Amino acid sequence: MKDEVLLENLPRTANRILNVLWRCNKAMGVEELTEALNREYVEHLNRREVQKFVRLLVHAEYVEARRCRFHIYYQTLGFEYVAEDMY
């Protein structure tokens, strides 16, 4: 994949999730992230699998999680939230 960053300390799927978040450059919920990941990498991951790797990225401080009403949105650190992106 073009312009892909791979961090040696992360599993392949976590790297792919991070790259999708960087390329999309917006806060994403798990459902949207799962769809983008499966489409971009022709994967067949389910929501729970993606959620597991997103938690790893949050714990490693590559991604932050923010709650907006009943949903949690994930983004790479340093990204400024735009309220419209979350609705």
For position 19, what pLDDT does the model report? 93
For residues 35 and 33, give the distance between their C-alpha atoms in angstroms, rounded to a whole number. 5
* pTM for this entry: 0.82
For residue 76, with 0-12 CB atoms within 10 Å meaning exposed, 13-18 middle and 19 or more buried, which class applies? middle
Residue 46 Rama label (left phi>0; alpha psi -120 to 50; beta): beta
Segments forming the whole domain that contains residue 22 = 12-86
Are the beta carbons of 75 and 64 closer than 8 angstroms? yes
6 in a domain, yes or no? no
Q: For the domain that residue 52 is a member of, what is the CATH number? A: 1.10.10.10
pLDDT digits 0-9 by tens, 58-82? 999 999 999 999 999 999 986 554 4
The strand pairing partners of 68, in sequence order, are 71
Are the beta carbons of 22 and 5 closer than 8 angstroms? yes
For position 80, what pLDDT does the model report? 52
In this model, does residue 87 exceed pLDDT 90?
Answer: no
For position 8, what pLDDT does the model report? 84
4 in a domain, yes or no? no
pLDDT digits 0-9 by tens, 8-66? 889 999 999 999 999 999 999 999 999 999 999 998 999 999 999 999 999 999 999 99
